[in-house]
Amino acid sequence: MEEMGLADLVRHLETNTYGPFRLMKAVLPGMRERGFGVIINVSSYHGRIASPLCSMYCASKHALEALSEALRYEVGHFGIRVHVIEPGYIVDTALFEKGTLVGASGGDESSPYADFVRMLRENRGNLSGQFPLPTTTTPQVVAEAILHAIDKGDRFRYPVGPDAEAIIALRNGTDDRSFDLLRREDLHLGW
């Protein structure tokens, strides 16, 4: 986070929070007048669990989750449902190609975070198993989860993909201290 600028945060918020906010504001009056509607926001498991090197993305997805959760209470009595889709790693998307890497993440070896970034990248394939590595979940699986939420609407949040399902289930079943210890072990953090 230290190597990112305010413009980086605004860019993430613009895409992942402000854009959905504008869309929700645009469709709510019509849904309210009709007495029904469904709003689906695509978040990420990072909307509930922050990870190193993803602070801006995580912050914007946490904000989207909070907006969605509050909105579902505000508009439920109008017959409007709000759901959040929380994918893990999705293959065949341009997410990483479009991202802007700065500082150590962008290859700056003079950064005070260079060793940390290198260590995280080297250990990515050596995780303990508590937190599954990214999977090969496709955009089609996310689309199917969206359709399920529209058709059934049987819960507020829908984790999508084995990695998202596993880390969210572990987080939900673990107190903060225990989860932090597991996460530090998994990420090979020695402090």
Write the pLDDT tens digit of every residue in 91-138.
766 655 555 666 767 777 888 888 888 888 777 644 445 555 566 789
Name the residue among 74, 85, 78 with its Cα closest to residue 37: 78
How many whole angstroms from its chain centre is CA 180?
18
CA distance 103 to 162: 31
Superfamily of domain 6-186: NAD(P)-binding Rossmann-like Domain (3.40.50.720)
Residue 57 bears catalytic tag: yes
Q: Are 64 and 41 in contact (CB under 8 A)?
A: yes
- Catalytic pick from 18, 45, 57, 158? 57
CA distance 85 to 89: 13
For residues 66-76, one letter each, b for 16 or more C-beta atoms within 10 angstroms of the residue's C-beta and e for the rest, the string is ebbeebbeebe
CA distance 69 to 156: 8
Token code pair at residue 115:
């060793």
pLDDT tens digits, 136-177: 789 999 999 999 999 999 999 999 999 899 899 999 999 999
Domain limits, the chain = 6-186
